[in-house]
Amino acid sequence: MARTSLSSVACSIARATDLFGDAWTALIMRDVLVGIRRFDELAEDIGLSRKVLAARLARLVEEGVLARERYQASPPREEYVATEKGRELYPVLLTLMAWGDKWYADPAGPPARIRHDVCGHIATPVVTCDACRDPLTVAATTQLPGPGGRIGPGTLLLGPLIAARGQGT
């Protein structure tokens, strides 16, 4: 069954999910960002078929999230490296990891931890306000209309809700 593209939906979550909406893509990015960059290593680590892996990698390169870099001239061999666009996914993956650790970790604890190399502490990712540094939670935030917002497929109910919130500002 072919997936419906979400690229035209006026929602940044929908557009990002259009590319990263399957588990394989997130796991590919996880591996590349921690240093597993060669095709055979990615296939072995993730346990993904070569055909599916090749398709996901091609899409990530096409979208500018990964780039191919030659690491051997003869025979020619390439590996995948994260571009700036790809490296900026790291906090998203860390936040997803923290959520998974909270709700799905084994009784023994989470499968991996993150050390913040600047201070040396084990860190739990938290999304914070860039102005005051307080955590951003559902209870402490309100979505308001943005300049690219519109009501249409994927935002038929959400669009009017957000627009109504912006009428008093």
Tell me the whole-structure pTM to 2 decimals.
Answer: 0.85
**69 CA to centre of own chain:** 22
**Residue 167: is its pLDDT beyond 80?**
no
Contact 79, 68 (CB under 8 A): yes
Give SS3 for 168: coil
Q: What are 74-84's pLDDT values in tens digits?
A: 999 999 999 99
- Res 1: pLDDT: 56
Q: What are 86-132's pLDDT values in tens digits?
A: 999 999 999 999 999 999 999 999 999 999 999 999 999 999 999 99
How far, in Å, CA of 102 to CA of 28, rounded? 22
Q: What are 38-80's pLDDT values in tens digits?
A: 999 999 999 999 999 999 999 999 999 999 999 999 999 999 9
- With a CB cutoff of 8 Å and minimum separation 6, the contacts of 129 are 135, 136
For the record, the structure tokens of 70 come out as 């030659």
How far, in Å, CA of 42 to CA of 53, rounded? 8
Give SS3 for 116: coil
Backbone torsions φ then ψ of 52, nearest 5 degrees: -65, -45
